[in-house]
Amino acid sequence: MLNIVLFGPPGSGKGTQSEKVIEKYGLMHISTGDLLREEVAAQTELGKQAKAIMDTGELVSDKIVIGMIRNKIEEHQDGPGFIFDGFPRTVDQARELRKALTDYDERVGVMISLEVAREELVKRLLKRGKETGRSDDKLETINNRIDVYNRQTIPVTYYYDKMHKHAAVEGSGSVNKIFDRIVEVIAKVKS
Ligand code: ADP
């Protein structure tokens, strides 16, 4: 299996680049944001609780997202591998991911972090908000999401640094150019 964590702040292009990685390597996409939005759309009890939190820009509890991830890993344990998008977002989630994969004798091959300046992130997210109406893509929530990322999520990079699995990639420029940089990193892990 090839397991990749695609990491970066909100608006850094994880979703866009995940699609291209999947197309090239045939991995299973696991986006905790998408999974949570599915729960919101289905108006489940979990979805109702999650929406209130997501609209403020804070993180949904580790317990909820780890449960969702474990289910997905179990469902696709015989596949070619996973691309984790928007997860892990806390060091506890990173530890739990390691445990969950170890249960299947698997591990994260590389954690790729997309680096984009704050002003650019805000610009991209405001544009997406206008185009899609996504309820958390409004200025106040965007600013809090970036603050939450800096406070709670950045420490995840140190976790993967320690294991020599963290590769930083410049996340500005054209979509294809950024993808080329990602492919270069993946090629090293695969060889
Ligand atoms: P973005 O990366 O643009 O913020 P996502 O779709 O990944 O968008 O996440 C949207 C929201 O869903 C987050 O602000 C957070 O409230 C919640 N969420 C997504 N993934 C996680 C996670 N791994 N842990 C906790 N909350 C999460």
Alpha carbon of 79 to those of 25, 38, 83, 142, 183: distances in Å? 12, 22, 12, 35, 20
Predicted confidence at residue 35, as pLDDT, reads: 96
Predicted confidence at residue 50, as pLDDT, reads: 95
Alpha carbon of 72 to those of 28, 101, 190: distances in Å? 9, 11, 23
Q: What is the phi-psi region of residue 41: left when phi exceeds 0, alpha when psi lies from -120 to 50, beta otherwise?
A: alpha
Confidence of residue 141 (pLDDT cuts 50, 70, 90): very high
Query: CA 128 to CA 116: how far, in whole Å?
Result: 16
Predicted confidence at residue 3, as pLDDT, reads: 97
Evaluate: CB of 60 within 6 angstroms of ligand 1: yes
Alpha carbon of 155 to those of 37, 85, 88: distances in Å? 25, 17, 11
In this predicted model, which residue has the larger pLDDT, 191 or 62? 62
* pLDDT 10s digits, 53-85: 999 999 999 999 999 999 999 999 999 999 999
CATH number, position 140: 3.40.50.300
* pLDDT 10s digits, 157-188: 999 999 999 999 999 999 999 999 999 999 99
Give the mean pLDDT of 136-150: 97
Alpha carbon of 48 to those of 44, 45, 58, 89, 167: distances in Å? 6, 5, 15, 21, 36
The alpha carbon of 38 and the centre of ligand 1 are apart by a number of angstroms equal to: 13
Q: Which range marks the domain in which residue 70 is found?
A: 2-190
Q: Which DSSP string do the residues of 130-175 spell out, in sequence order?
A: HHH--TT-SHHHHHHHHHHIIIIITHHHHHHHHTT-EEEEE--S-H
Whether 155 has a pLDDT exceeding 90, the answer reads: yes
Peptide bond just before 88 cis, omega within 30 deg: yes
Evaluate: CB of 66 within 6 angstroms of ligand 1: no
Q: What is the pTM of this model?
A: 0.94
Evaluate: CB of 171 within 6 angstroms of ligand 1: no
Q: What is the largest CA-CA distance in the chain?
A: 45
Give the count of domains, the chain: 1
Atom of ligand 1 lying closest to residue 9 CA: 2
Whether 110 has a pLDDT exceeding 90, the answer reads: yes
Alpha carbon of 71 to those of 18, 32, 65: distances in Å? 20, 12, 10
Give the mean pLDDT of 149-162: 98
Whether 129 has a pLDDT exceeding 90, the answer reads: yes
Evaluate: CB of 13 within 6 angstroms of ligand 1: no
Predicted confidence at residue 67, as pLDDT, reads: 93
